[in-house]
């Protein structure tokens, strides 16, 4: 997956770790069925969060190869023109990053930080 300038995806995704640890003080995340179930619930409640995870992780690691990727590509051509950052999913649909990020922020705000 190609990713360029996904900076806002980092906090939008990694807040899940803070929520997890607040709800499960001292619990280990590595190889945890409960942590996996927590992620499954997040992604069920807000599918866009899985997309943000893919963008954040690919930006952090300069690409990803895991089999569970939903995002095929996240690119923009700014500042060369006014094309916004877009996310293309494996099913071929394209979404503006700003819209996806807004839905994720709204999810966090209403579900976990009312």
Task: Please report the beta strands in 1-114, taking only residues with DSSP state E, as ranges in sequence order.
Answer: 2-3, 71-75, 86-89, 94-96
Q: How many CB atoms lie within 10 A of CB 63?
A: 11
Evaluate the omega torsion of the peptide bond into residue 78 and state whether it is cis, within 30 degrees of 0. Answer: no
Read off the pLDDT of residues 78-94 as tens digits, 9 standing for 90 and up: 555 555 678 888 898 98
Alpha helices in 24-96 (DSSP H): 33-45, 47-61
Report the Cα 48 to chain-centroid distance in Å.
Answer: 7
Q: What's the confidence (pLDDT) of residue 98?
A: 86
What rounded mean pLDDT belongs to the chain?
81
Question: Per-residue pLDDT for 1 more than 60?
Answer: no
Q: What is the pLDDT of residue 2?
A: 45
What percent of the chain shows pLDDT beyond 70?
72
The interaxial angle of helices 33-45 and 47-61, nearest 10 deg, is 120
Task: Answer whether 101's CB lies under 8 Å from 9's CB.
Answer: yes
List strands edge to edge, sheet with 71-75: 2-3, 71-75, 86-89, 94-96
């Amino acid at each position: 997956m190609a990713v360029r300038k996904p900076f806002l995806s980092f906090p939008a995704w990694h807040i899940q770790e803070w929520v997890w640890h607040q709800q499960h003080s001292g619990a280990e995340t590595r190889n945890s069925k409960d942590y996996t179930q927590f992620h499954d619930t997040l992604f069920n409640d807000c599918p866009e969060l899985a997309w943000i995870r893919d963008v954040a992780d690919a930006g952090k690691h300069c690409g990803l190869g895991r089999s569970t990727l939903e995002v095929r590509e996240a690119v923009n051509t700014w500042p060369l023109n006014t094309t916004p950052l877009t996310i293309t999913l494996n099913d071929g649909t394209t979404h503006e990053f700003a819209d996806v990020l807004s839905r994720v922020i709204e999810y966090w705000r209403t579900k976990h930080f009312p």
